[in-house]
Amino acid sequence: MSLIEDSPFDTSPVAPVEYSPDSEISFRCHKGVDCWNACCRQIDITLTPYDIVRLKNRLGMSSEEFLKKYTAPFEFDRHGVPGIKMRTQEDAPVCLFMDEVDGCTVYEDRPTSCRYYPVGLLSKRNEKEYTDRTGYVLVEEEHCHGHREDRKITIGDYRKDQGVEVFDEEARPWRQLLLKKLSSGPTIGKPSPQSLSLFFMACYNHDKFREFVNAPSFTTMFDISDEEMKRLNEDDVALMHFGFKFLAQVLFGEQSIPLKEGAADKRTEERKETWELRREAEAEIHRAKQEQAEKDTL
């Protein structure tokens, strides 16, 4: 499960030759194939935010429980932009959702990379372009004998067959955020630790993000209607998309979520007061230390 340099998906030793939706491949995977489950025994799967929503809801878990039990964090770049991979068995890269006989135990909600395999998604953005461009590669790994099956199918039909379209669509803003960040170079610079934490929370820990959005510090700052707030509280996918908009504001300064009138000035004023109080407290501590040191030398 593979891709190119600046893609938010996994990399592979397979050289990418770009395919289009009309390109035809020869491939079929079915329970009778002699390599059944071979692909699920050697995984390196990056999860999209939508993959996480689907899996945690299927398993009836909170996002926090799901992240702890089934995933491992990694960084997309040297600035520490966070990503999430599927956790594997302790002693081998075997997927925790694989059953030797029945195969995938979360099949209807399996992640994007699993749906695509052996096709890989190329998501690219040229420096001066504002939208990403999509292409595909074919990954031919030795362990996968599906390529020997006599079935021709176009990449477009394979995507439909695997139900990948909705997964691509829902995760598209996340890929765009990543591509914009990863291809921006020094113009955007290194996000602050707080921005990186917000990125992690909004993209992957959706239940925590929901608490954050409901907190007074958020609701006094952003102008969100009661109807919108209700939707965010009831619909994980709506919340996820709201998170992407919020991150466009945090990372790139886009005015994607309206601010309440005067809220920014009020926050600046409050921060000023906090800094002033902190400065006075530090000066007080410093004075007390000096007094103590003088007493000690007497």
Nearest to ligand SF4 of 39, 67 (CB atom) = 39
Options 2, 8, 19, 39; binder of ligand SF4; rule CB under 6 A: 39
Task: Report residue 246 as tokens.
Answer: 């919020």
User: How near is the Cβ of 33 to ligand SF4 at its closest, in Å?
Assistant: 5
Q: Which of 114, 155, 198, 251 binds ligand SF4 (CB under 6 A)?
A: 114
Q: CA-CA distance, 271 to 265, in Å (whole number)?
A: 10
The window from 9-17, 30-38, 165-173, 217-225 that contacts ligand SF4 (CB under 6 A) reads 30-38
Query: Is residue 36 part of the contact set for ligand SF4 (CB under 6 A)?
Result: yes
Which of residues 114 and 240 has its CB atom nearest to ligand SF4 in the complex? Answer: 114
Could you say which of 3, 25, 40, 232 contacts ligand SF4 (CB under 6 A)? 40
Q: Which of 43, 171, 203, 250 binds ligand SF4 (CB under 6 A)?
A: 43
- Least distance from ligand SF4 to the Cβ atom of residue 27, Å: 8
- CB count, 10 Å around CB of 105? 12
Calpha distance 41→89 (Å, rounded): 9
Q: How far is CA 75 from CA 72, 83, 251, in A?
A: 10, 6, 16
Q: For residue 38, state whether it binds ligand SF4 (rule: CB under 6 A).
A: yes
Comparison of 144 and 263: residue with beta carbon closer to ligand SF4: 144
Q: Name which of 117 and 242 has its Cβ closer to ligand SF4.
A: 117
- Of residues 82 through 111, those in contact with ligand SF4 by CB under 6 A are 95, 97-98, 104, 106, 110-111
We find the least distance from the C-beta atom of residue 195 to ligand SF4, in angstroms, to be 31
Site for ligand SF4 in 139-168 (CB under 6 A): 143-146
User: Which residue, 110 or 210, is less far from ligand SF4 as judged by CB?
Assistant: 110
CB of 100 to ligand SF4, least distance (A): 11
Of 4, 14, 35, 59, the residue at the interface with ligand SF4 (CB under 6 A) is 35
| Contacts of 79 by beta carbon, 8 Å cutoff, 6+ apart | 181, 190, 191, 196
Q: How many residues bind ligand SF4 (CB under 6 A)?
A: 22
Interacting residues of 87 by C-beta distance below 8 A, sequence separation 6+: 69, 70, 71, 72, 96
Helix segments in the chain, DSSP class H: 49-58, 63-70, 112-116, 155-161, 165-182, 193-203, 206-214, 216-219, 226-234, 236-252, 263-297
Residue closer to ligand SF4, measured from CB, 6 or 141 = 141
Query: Which tokens hold the place of 171?
Result: 């995760």
Q: Identify the sign of the CA torsion 139, 140, 142, 148.
A: positive
Strand partners, 98: 104
- Examine residue 229 and tell whether it contacts ligand SF4 (CB under 6 A): no
Phi, psi angles (nearest 5°) of residue 296: -65, -30
Question: Exposure string (b/e) for 251-264, b if CB count within 10 Å is 16 or more?
Answer: beeeeebeeeeeee
Query: DSSP label at 190?
Result: P
The residues binding ligand SF4 (CB under 6 A) are 29, 33, 35-40, 43, 95, 97-98, 104, 106, 110-111, 114, 117, 143-146
